[in-house]
Structure 1
Amino acid sequence: MNTSQKKQAFNPYLPLDTYVPDGEPHVFGDRLYVFGSHDKEGGDKYCMLDYEGFSAPLDNLADWRSEGIIYRASQDPTHSEKYSYLYAPDVVQGNDGRYYLYYALSYQSFTGPIHVAVCDTPAGSYEYYGEVRYPDGRTFDRGITFDPGLLNDNGNIYLYYGWAISAPQMRHKTKEELEQIRPTIRQVELSMFEKTEEQLARETDGLQGANVVRLADDMLTVIEGPKRIAPGQVDAAGTPFEGHAFFEASSIRKIGDTYYFIYSSEVCHELCYATSQYPDRDFHYRGVIVSNGDIGYHGIDEEHRLAVTGNDHGSIACVNGQWYIFYHRHTNKTCFSRQGCAEKITILPDGTIPQVEMTSCGLNDGPLAPAGSYPAPIACNLTNDHLPDKIDRETPIAYITCDRGERIIKDISDSFRVGYKYFAFDGPVTLGVVVRGKARGILEIATEDGIIGRLDIAPSENWKTLTAPIAANGTKGLYLTYHGDGAFDMKEFFFA
């Protein structure tokens, strides 16, 4: 990769061997920090690794730096086989100037209490501080204590959290139909969340949904709430949230006088938002910000998703006047190897955020340059127009993975399209691809304007380079579609 290429930002924005999903972006000082959970490459469970911090200077969002391991699960005194892994965190600056890391441990149990660690700097490392608690010192246990999101609103500390069942078979049921299955849902709540009948009776708004509490200056003690701000699937029928009910991934931002609650909806692949003029009530559903399959963007439906979909989690941040949405994608043909991505968004004068598409350029200051080499896994589209819902290990599909120490796109077969958005084309250029495999066919090269070149794909056990002259002008996507027999892998592509 040439020198100029090093200054560009791609998706995913962290190194290809790094899996930090559930990203909460925050500007602290002159750097943008992302706090997320930490998946293992090719892992078989969520969040198997300890928290690793990352940050970038505000004037160069391509220059990410690892802050190292900022907190370990073993530092929590309740860490055990039952509560093994650090799930999605958030960080907020307290009124004392220190930085507080909120998280929940999980694995064999759905989720434990919300815990807190503290540090004098956002970069860590953090030390265990305590559990969120009632004023009498008892562990706070209202609702489902999962996915904390924090806001320091002019000295008032708000903690948002919650979870809800997301079942496709319940998605289109009426309010009356949902009422009929409430006894079954209650039994699920008793067993899945280890609640007692007494605890469920205290949940006057129901157990499932998004909640908010206000904390004391000690950052641990609940002094107000909980209050329900968004319904889960079982309570959303007949409300503006119907079809986009709260699932998980609570996050909160204040823009001007408006509070933006960002969350993952019942369909899992999308990040939605609701707004209010208050931090703890009257939130109204507004729309979808991003889908990790581009579902809903310009009419794309679930059948024609542009990438394999799965859960999503993230939030928004403003850097030098530009707003971004951070989210994650799924790789390695598993739900457990997720990578952070980001896109530019626009907040319109009426406060709405139009849905944006997934791109390869993400945090870059404009489209990528058609020069130098790029790793194949920065593809933002990888589809044959009939991908399975979520991850299906049995279905033969192209996917991003690590093979013999190299990050590649594996098993590109007939009709699969590999898409990269966007490049600033300026006339003729030579495109090269580095491939291997047992395929024999044609790789069509196209932009939105149509086919601009072709490459012959033939069997090869070793990596080989294929080149073709192409020509395009303006900001365009680059789409590589295979037609033929067998399957091949792709390691990189380049322009010369």
Structure 2
Amino acid sequence: MNPILDPKYFIPDVEARVYDGKLYLYGSLDICGNDDYCSHNYYVFETEDLKNFKVYPNTFNSSLVPDEESKNSRLYAPDLEKIGGKYCLFYCQNDRSEGVAFADSPVGPFNHAQEIDVYGIDPSVFVDDDGSVYYFWGQLSGQAAKLDPETFQIIPETHVDGVITEAEHGFHEGMSVRKRGDLYYLVYTDISRGRPTALGYATSKHPLGPYTKRGIIIDNIGCDPQTWNDHGCIAEFNGKWYVFYHRSSHNGYFSRRCCVEPITFNEDGTISEVEMTTQGIDGPIPCFTKVEAFRTSRINGRAYIDDYADHTGRYDYVKGLANGESVEYKYIDFTEEAASITVESAGNASSINVYLDHELTPIATIRTEKTAGKYLFMPFSTKLGKKISGKHMLRLEVRGGEDISVNLQSFVFGK
């Protein structure tokens, strides 16, 4: 289910790379609750099935960059490629410096960092079938050039200024390049819908363009009331293609987590736009599976995902659902017949209406009581009003007084 990593890891700006049958995730590291992007460390995540991940913490730190003034700058979005037998980690920082560090393994540790003589953020690297290396970076007007695999500097005469632009493509930042057949796909943060919350893509017959915009792959609007950006990639793994993206939380631009959805290519090479889901790559969630509320695929209103900790551990939940606000979960599988639903909630007494898809009549209404504290989650149950079969979006809508505030931790259907 989404997010795909342990919820304590806030990893945005993800690039997915595949080596020797394993997929590796490289991204920035947000510090939960901080009012700023990223941090001074990179982590790497390794998986064979996109479900179970091995974590490699602190694979690179800003203290290892060569420029003394940049050692205190945060590490922004990275990328990685294998070049000349080495695993090359391309980094950038909030002072807009960029560089590369090296390792003998895709999980690092990465050392011997050197600067790349460009100015910007969000490096992306692509190695073509003939071994040529291409480097992409920048915001609003994308920059691209061939990269010398010996010096790791761009080759000036190959530099393209404006390989994609905000005016023509809706480009905001965060380029990522892949090749499928004879087409090059440039995925990027797209601002054409008002906020840079979408991943758009453009295609070309050459890595340095010209690129033609083809559409949007996914949009994270609705993951948080304050969501501002998205940044990710597409990748093929075990014969299937996926889009990796992030969702913000905690009522801010930050505290972003990695999510993934399957994607489909059409005969003309376009990618069908996909929606954010709770299920992710797993397929519809069996109705008798307990689902944590923070895995919502969309929040309708001002509520947001928050967390708390007590003597038993750290927990995520949906905070502050007001009258008329709701959370959605895509998708729940009712292959087996359910007879009841239980939610764990805290806060004010309320009615929680349970809807399927976009129906206007609820299948159940759960009456909750006021709890002793905002983190003292209690179970409340009710019978379903009808038999359900098939796959459905679930929507939980809070009803009550104008000052009502309900926190939601989980739900599950019963037999």
- TM-score using structure 2 length: 0.91
Cα-to-partner distance string for 1:246-267 (whole Å, 9 max, x where unaligned): 1100110011110000111233
Stretches of 4+ aligned residues off by more than 4 angstroms: none
Aligned counterpart, 1:457? 368
Alignment partners' CA distance in 2, 1:355 and 1:120 = 37
Aligned counterpart, 2:150? 218
1:329 aligns with 2:247: yes
1:124 aligns with 2:33: no
Is the 2:224–2:299 contact (alpha carbons within 8 Å) kept by the matching residues of 1?
yes
Unaligned runs of 5+ in 2: none
Among 213, 228, 233, the residue aligned to 1:310: 228
> Cα 1:219–1:402, aligned 2, differ >3 Å: closer, same or farther?
farther
Aligned counterpart, 2:297? 380
Alignment partners' CA distance in 1, 2:144 and 2:394 = 44
1:469 aligns with 2:383: yes
Q: Pick the structure with more helix per residue.
A: 1
Cα-to-partner distance string for 1:258-293 (whole Å, 9 max, x where unaligned): 000011123311110000000112111111111001
Aligned counterpart, 2:89? 101
Alignment partners' CA distance in 2, 1:306 and 1:17 = 17
Is the 1:73–1:79 contact (alpha carbons within 8 Å) kept by the matching residues of 2?
no
Aligned counterpart, 2:271? 353
Among 24, 31, 37, the residue aligned to 2:22: 31
Structure 1 position 403, deviation (Å): 2.0
Alignment partners' CA distance in 1, 2:180 and 2:79 = 18
Aligned counterpart, 1:344? 262
Structure 1 position 481, deviation (Å): 0.5
> Cα 1:322–1:81, aligned 2, differ >3 Å: closer, same or farther?
closer
User: In the alignment, residue 190 of structure 2 is paired with which amino acid?
Assistant: S
User: In the alignment, residue 252 of structure 1 is paired with which amino acid?
Assistant: V
Give the match's secondary structure for 2:377. strand
Bigger Cα displacement from structure 2, 70-79 vs 221-230: 221-230
Unaligned runs of 5+ in 1: 1-9, 133-139, 165-208, 294-304, 385-396
Aligned residues: 394
Matches within 5 A, 1:406-421: 406-421=315-330
Is the 1:307–1:380 contact (alpha carbons within 8 Å) kept by the matching residues of 2?
no
Is the 2:66–2:114 contact (alpha carbons within 8 Å) kept by the matching residues of 1?
no
User: In the alignment, residue 158 of structure 2 is paired with which amino acid?
Assistant: G
Alignment partners' CA distance in 1, 2:68 and 2:211 = 35
Cα-to-partner distance string for 1:411-455 (whole Å, 9 max, x where unaligned): 111111111111111222432111111x23310011125521110
Alignment partners' CA distance in 2, 1:232 and 1:411 = 39
Is the 1:270–1:290 contact (alpha carbons within 8 Å) kept by the matching residues of 2?
yes
Is the 1:39–1:49 contact (alpha carbons within 8 Å) kept by the matching residues of 2?
no
Structure 1 position 333, deviation (Å): 1.0
Aligned counterpart, 2:133? 157
Give the match's secondary structure for 1:356. coil
Among 199, 219, 227, the residue aligned to 2:160: 227
Structure 1 position 231, deviation (Å): 4.2
Cα-to-partner distance string for 1:361-396 (whole Å, 9 max, x where unaligned): 1121x1111123222111111113xxxxxxxxxxxx
Alignment partners' CA distance in 2, 1:367 and 1:29 = 30
User: In the alignment, residue 148 of structure 1 is paired with which amino acid?
Assistant: P
Give the match's secondary structure for 2:290. strand
1:400 aligns with 2:389: no
Alignment partners' CA distance in 2, 1:273 and 1:413 = 37
* Percent of aligned positions that are identical: 31
Among 72, 90, 96, the residue aligned to 2:79: 90
> Cα 1:225–1:145, aligned 2, differ >3 Å: closer, same or farther?
farther
Aligned counterpart, 2:56? 67
Structure 1 position 330, deviation (Å): 0.9
Structure 1 position 123, deviation (Å): 1.2
Among 416, 419, 431, the residue aligned to 2:341: 431
User: In the alignment, residue 469 of structure 1 is paired with which amino acid?
Assistant: K
Aligned counterpart, 1:195? none
Aligned counterpart, 1:178? none
Structure 1 position 51, deviation (Å): 0.4
Cα-to-partner distance string for 1:312-345 (whole Å, 9 max, x where unaligned): 1000011222211111111011212111111111
Aligned counterpart, 1:145? 120
Is the 1:229–1:282 contact (alpha carbons within 8 Å) kept by the matching residues of 2?
no
Structure 1 position 219, deviation (Å): 5.5
Give the match's secondary structure for 2:209. coil
1:284 aligns with 2:212: yes
Is the 2:175–2:187 contact (alpha carbons within 8 Å) kept by the matching residues of 1?
yes
Is the 2:121–2:139 contact (alpha carbons within 8 Å) kept by the matching residues of 1?
yes
Give the match's secondary structure for 1:363. helix
Structure 1 position 307, deviation (Å): 4.7
Cα-to-partner distance string for 1:194-243 (whole Å, 9 max, x where unaligned): xxxxxxxxxxxxxxx1111111222512224320354433xx2xxxx2xx
Alignment partners' CA distance in 2, 1:352 and 1:371 = 37
Give the match's secondary structure for 1:472. coil
User: In the alignment, residue 232 of structure 2 is paired with which amino acid?
Assistant: G
Alignment partners' CA distance in 1, 2:395 and 2:104 = 47
Aligned counterpart, 1:136? none
Alignment partners' CA distance in 1, 2:68 and 2:80 = 20
Aligned counterpart, 1:5? none
User: In the alignment, residue 472 of structure 1 is paired with which amino acid?
Assistant: I
Alignment partners' CA distance in 1, 2:350 and 2:190 = 41
Is the 2:136–2:175 contact (alpha carbons within 8 Å) kept by the matching residues of 1?
yes
Is the 1:230–1:245 contact (alpha carbons within 8 Å) kept by the matching residues of 2?
no
Aligned counterpart, 1:254? 179
Alignment partners' CA distance in 1, 2:40 and 2:284 = 33
